[in-house]
Structure 1
C-alpha cells in the first residue's frame, strides 16, 4: 500500500467547486484574496474572514485530503468596524458583495452563507492597511512523470508544489496532484482542465483530485 504523505502546511483545505470537481484549495490563499477585497470597501475596517462548512454534500467519490473539509457549501464569517454615521446595512451589503464576488471570480467557491458582524464604530475612516508581502515561494523539481508533465502543460498552472506532500501522490488507485494557480486565473477552471489532462494520461486512476496550494 502506498502511504499518502503529509506536507509542511498546517492550514486547512477548503472544498473548491462542486463535489464532482474533486478539488480543494488552501484556506490561506482564499483568506488573503478575500481580505484584500474587503479592505477595498470604504468606511470599514474588516478582520480576516473565517470559513466553515455550512452545507455538507450527501456523498463524494473522492478521498478528502488530510486537513481538508469535506465537499459542500461554505459559510464565511467576517467581523468589521464601521465608520459612524454611515448606514450599516449599506456597508454590510457592500462587504457581502465584495466577498461573494471574490469567491466566484478568483476561485469558484460555492458559498451558502456570509455572516457579517459589526464590532465597533469609528470616528474616522481607518488608515490604509499595507498587506504583508507573500512568503518566499519555491517549487520542487518536476518529477519525470507523465501526470506531472500533463498538469504543467495546462494553461493557468504556475507550478507543482509540495506544501501538503509530494506534488504527485498515488494510493490504491487514487491520484492526487498539488499545484499553484497563476494569479488572475479562476482556480476552478484551471483545476477542471488539469483533471481532464491528467485523466487522459492516467486512465488507470480510480479518482483524480487536485489541491491548489497557492496563487502566484
Structure 2
C-alpha cells in the first residue's frame, strides 16, 4: 500500500470515537457508527438521512484514557450527534424530528455502546415523495486482515470478532508499552462485549502485562 492509499483509508474512518469509559481502552471508527445510525435513521417513516457527524459533547470534560489511544483518537467522554435530514411534507415535522432523535439515541446506546448526551437535528429539505431505501453496501476502505502473530490469532478467535482489519497499519500494533488491535464485529454482538473479549484473549496470549487497546472499524448488523 502506498502512503497516499494509507492516508485515504485512515481519513475514511472519520473520527475515532471513545467506546465505553476511560477504563475500556476502546474506540469506534466514525464511519462504522455512521453506517449503523444512517440505516436506523432511514427506517424512520418519511426521513431521508443526510450528513451525520459525531463529536465530543464537552471536550473540556473528557477523561484521560487508561491505555495509549490510537493516533488522533478522541478522549473518553459523552458524544453529540449532529444529523441533517430531509422529511416528507405530509407528516408533522416536530413529530418526525422527535422520532428520529429517539431512534438515534437508542441505536447509539443499544447497537453501538456509545454514550451520547445530545442529538442535534437540522432539516435540509421537504420531500414531495417518499425517500428511497438505502442500499446495504459495505463501508469502503475496511478490509479483512489475516492474523500474523499470536496476538492476532487470539484476537481473531475472540467471541464476536468477524475478522481483523488493518486500516491504521498492521491489524495488531505491538509497541513496547502497549498493544493495539483492529477488529470488525460480527452481527448480533455488542461492540464493548467484543472489545473485552479481544482484550482478554490478547492479554492471555502475550502474557507480558502490556495494556491492550481495541479499535472497532466495522460493526455487523
Same fold (TM over 0.5): yes
Is 1:193–2:193 an aligned residue pair? Answer: no
Asked if 1 retains the 8 angstrom alpha-carbon contact of 2:22 and 2:63, the reply is no
CA distance in 2, matches of 1:136, 1:13: 15
- Residue equivalent to 2:3: none
CA distance in 1, matches of 2:125, 2:79: 26
Deviation at 1:78, TM superposition (A): 0.6
TM-score normalised by length of structure 2: 0.85
- Match among 107, 119, 131 for residue 124 of structure 2: 119
Is 1:110–2:115 an aligned residue pair? Answer: yes
CA distance in 2, matches of 1:32, 1:6: 21
- Residue equivalent to 1:41: 44
Deviation at 1:131, TM superposition (A): 4.5
Show structure 2 runs of 5+ residues with no match: 1-5
Deviation at 1:71, TM superposition (A): 1.6
Show structure 1 runs of 5+ residues with no match: none
Q: CA RMSD in A?
A: 2.3
Deviation at 1:66, TM superposition (A): 1.0
Is 1:18–2:21 an aligned residue pair? Answer: yes
Deviation at 1:199, TM superposition (A): 2.2
Alignment of 1:2-81 (within 5 A): 8-10=9-11, 11-56=14-59, 57-81=62-86
Cα-to-partner distance string for 1:30-68 (whole Å, 9 max, x where unaligned): 101110100111122221311111134232222221132
Deviation at 1:104, TM superposition (A): 1.9
Is 1:175–2:179 an aligned residue pair? Answer: yes
Alignment of 1:132-147 (within 5 A): 132-135=137-140, 138-145=143-150, 147=151
CA distance in 2, matches of 1:106, 1:58: 23
Deviation at 1:133, TM superposition (A): 4.8
Matched residue count: 211
CA distance in 2, matches of 1:172, 1:200: 17
Deviation at 1:135, TM superposition (A): 4.3
CA distance in 2, matches of 1:46, 1:6: 27
CA distance in 2, matches of 1:168, 1:6: 18
Cα-to-partner distance string for 1:81-111 (whole Å, 9 max, x where unaligned): 2222422221111111211222122220111
TM-score normalised by length of structure 1: 0.87
SS at match of 1:19: coil
